[in-house]
A and B are shown apart, each in its own frame.
Chain A
Amino acid sequence: MTEEIIIAGFGGQGVLSMGQIICYSGVMQGKEVSWMPSYGPEMRGGTANCTAIISDEQISSPVLNRFDTAIVLNQPSMDKFEDAVKPDGLLIYEENGMTRKPRRKDINICSIAAYDESVKMNNTKVFNMIVIGGFLKVRPIIELENVIKGLKKVLPDRYHHLIPLNEEAIHRGMDIIKEEQAVKK
């Protein structure tokens, strides 16, 4: 199993940490992982993205141009990465703030209203955990318990009391993700 993921959005949406959490969770599950952020001027105010790779085998390239899954959280990111999804791959997009629907016909497409859900939870900070939950529903590559372990690793001790909240967010994400288009394998 190898899952090559690109996560992209505005800086501040927790794009980079989402990739890190997925990777740390992968490590907890005994997988090989690689995380590569975009860095530099792009990050300041503009868009940020990171490549996260989870695999049973040694990972060759940490930077890629085609992905199994693209998680796009704003329109510029959808514009940039929709075409980078491999045929039969997966595109997950956040509904809020998108001005158009994806166009590809040869990929699986899911949408998630993670932002609205986080508002309902009275905590927009868990936005990215909701997205991770949605992703794991569609691509159950990591077990929840390992995600929690991964979270413990990423979060400083003083935030560990927030872990139940994050777990709740993951569950919400799993519940609210919507399949919009499925292609036969």
Chain B
Amino acid sequence: MKGNEALAEAAIRAGADAYFGYPITPQSEVIEYLMRENPADRTGMQVLQAESEIAAINMVYGAAGCGKRAMTSSSSPGISLKMEGLSYIAGAELPCVVVNVVRAGPGLGTIQPSQSDYFQAVKGGGHGDYKLIVLAPATVQESVDYVKLAFDLAFKYRNPVMILSDGIIGQMMEKVELFEQMPRSNKEYEWATLGKKPGKNSVIVTSLQLQSEEQEKVNLRLQAKYREVEKNEVRFETYGCEDAEYLFAAFGSCARITRKALDMARAKGIKVGIIRPQTLYPFPVDEISRLAGQVKGILTVEMNAGQMVEDVKLAVNGKTPVEFYGRFGGMIPTPDEILEALEQKIIGG
């Protein structure tokens, strides 16, 4: 199964109630698979091709406002169109899952894999002070497991969760174990619009506040929620860090290529480790800060012009030199290039 198809199957198995999408390369397999699989027969999950990404994210808003497990997926240009809706969903504190199988930009860009939407995913993208929880799978297995995790986190915090994948993970095939079918939940949340209950106030799903004082309260509540997320949900993987003198930082598919460079470096006797953030927000600030005290330098490797490196630098806070190596525009860095960059920018530097 291709990464995209595995992810679509995971959505069905995670008990999703609805998927709304619009075709775009390199993630069209998600909606194609769902349409083929017709989960309405299997679980009752609704699948609809919307007229645009804008419509799709707003359909998600509607379904999420009913307390349902709703999901959409797209690739970079389509994700830009969803930013308005995501801001509204974050503002109305609705849970949902959005998958971005990133391709290179700006503009129409190329359909080749990229990580150039890191800023958009992690720093906002839409308007207003909000955060998405951002999960970055590096394997097909993780893109499957993260669908379930994403729904759990989305409902735990009533917050949109983004799975930031890319063309490599979406298109590749590898061994994957699918979790068992979970039943769709029929839980009725008190914040969901399901029809007014006699004697109860009507439920209103909204992101609008007319008074600044009220809006500030909303913002403070959101910020408190984000602090909780930062406290509880940081996820990362490290390898070879025990004796490391140098450190790679990379996420997603790029971390796997970097892992290959790590093996090559270790074969040459260079003691290098790697940290791979699995959650891009919340970011593993503490672990990077800790490792920064141990190593002589950090090379951040990304398939963009240098985005996560800014967060790495903030976490390192000057403790050790941080350098960047990246390819972009759909180009993929090779392990040789990465090793060379480590030797020149960090070890030689």
Please report A residues at the B interface, Cβ cutoff 8 Å. 20, 23, 27, 32-37, 39-41, 59-66
| Chain B residues within 8 Å of A33, by CB | 173-175
Cα distance A64–B253 when bound, in Å? 12
Which residues in chain B, 162-221, are within 8 Å of chain A measured between CB atoms? 167-168, 171-175
Please report B residues at the A interface, Cβ cutoff 8 Å. 25-26, 110-112, 167-168, 171-175, 253, 256-257, 259-260, 263, 332, 334-336
Pairs A–B under 8 Å by Cβ, sample size 15:
A33-B173, A36-B171, A36-B172, A39-B25, A39-B111, A39-B167, A40-B25, A40-B111, A60-B256, A63-B253, A63-B257, A63-B332, A64-B260, A64-B334, A64-B335
Q: Tell me whether A60 and B260 are in contact (CB under 8 A).
A: yes
Set B171, B257, B259: member contacting A39, Cβ < 8 A = B171
Q: Tell me whether B173 and A23 are in contact (CB under 8 A).
A: yes
Cα distance A32–B259 when bound, in Å? 16
| Chain A residues within 8 Å of B263, by CB | 60
Set B110, B111, B173, B259: member contacting A34, Cβ < 8 A = B173
| Chain A residues within 8 Å of B173, by CB | 20, 23, 33-36
Q: Tell me whether A65 and B172 are in contact (CB under 8 A).
A: no
Q: Tell me whether B175 and A32 are in contact (CB under 8 A).
A: yes
Which of B167, B168, B173, B175 is packed against the most chain A CB atoms within 10 Å?
Answer: B173
| Chain A residues within 8 Å of B167, by CB | 39
Which of A23, A33, A40, A66 is packed against the most chain B CB atoms within 10 Å?
Answer: A40
Cα distance A64–B336 when bound, in Å? 10
Q: A27-B175, A34-B173, A39-B25 are in contact. Are A60 and B257 (CB under 8 A)?
A: yes
| Chain A residues within 8 Å of B256, by CB | 59-62
Which of B26, B110, B112 is packed against the most chain A CB atoms within 10 Å?
Answer: B112
Cα distance A61–B167 when bound, in Å? 14
Cα distance A62–B171 when bound, in Å? 11
Q: Tell me whether A40 and B26 are in contact (CB under 8 A).
A: yes
Q: Tell me whether A65 and B26 are in contact (CB under 8 A).
A: no
Q: Tell me whether B336 and A36 are in contact (CB under 8 A).
A: no
**Nearest B residue to A4, CB-CB:** B260
| Chain B residues within 8 Å of A36, by CB | 168, 171-173
Set A27, A34, A41, A60: member contacting B172, Cβ < 8 A = A34
Cα distance A97–B214 when bound, in Å? 73
Cα distance A5–B168 when bound, in Å? 17
| Chain A residues within 8 Å of B171, by CB | 36-37, 39
Q: Kindly provide the distance from the CB of A54 to the nearest chain B CB, expressed in whole angstroms.
A: 11
| Chain A residues within 8 Å of B336, by CB | 65-66
**Nearest A residue to B172, CB-CB:** A36
| Chain B residues within 8 Å of A59, by CB | 174, 256
Cα distance A25–B173 when bound, in Å? 13
Cα distance A5–B156 when bound, in Å? 44
**Nearest A residue to B169, CB-CB:** A62
Cα distance A64–B260 when bound, in Å? 9
Q: Kindly provide the distance from the CB of A49 to the nearest chain B CB, expressed in whole angstroms.
A: 12
Set B26, B111, B112, B168: member contacting A62, Cβ < 8 A = B168
**Nearest B residue to A23, CB-CB:** B173
| Chain B residues within 8 Å of A63, by CB | 168, 253, 257, 332
Set B111, B174, B335: member contacting A65, Cβ < 8 A = B335
Q: Kindly provide the distance from the CB of A55 to the nearest chain B CB, expressed in whole angstroms.
A: 11
**Nearest A residue to B170, CB-CB:** A39
Q: Kindly provide the distance from the CB of B108 to the nearest chain A CB, expressed in whole angstroms.
A: 12
| Chain A residues within 8 Å of B259, by CB | 60-61
Q: Kindly provide the distance from the CB of B322 to the nearest chain A CB, expressed in whole angstroms.
A: 23
Cα distance A60–B262 when bound, in Å? 10
Cα distance A36–B4 when bound, in Å? 12
Q: Kindly provide the distance from the CB of A47 to the nearest chain B CB, expressed in whole angstroms.
A: 15
| Chain A residues within 8 Å of B26, by CB | 39-40
Cα distance A64–B175 when bound, in Å? 18
Q: A60-B259, A61-B260, A62-B253 are in contact. Are A34 and B174 (CB under 8 A)?
A: yes
Cα distance A63–B113 when bound, in Å? 11
| Chain A residues within 8 Å of B253, by CB | 62-63
Q: Kindly provide the distance from the CB of B176 to the nearest chain A CB, expressed in whole angstroms.
A: 10
| Chain B residues within 8 Å of A23, by CB | 173
Set B111, B112, B175, B257: member contacting A61, Cβ < 8 A = B257
Q: Kindly provide the distance from the CB of B243 to the nearest chain A CB, expressed in whole angstroms.
A: 19
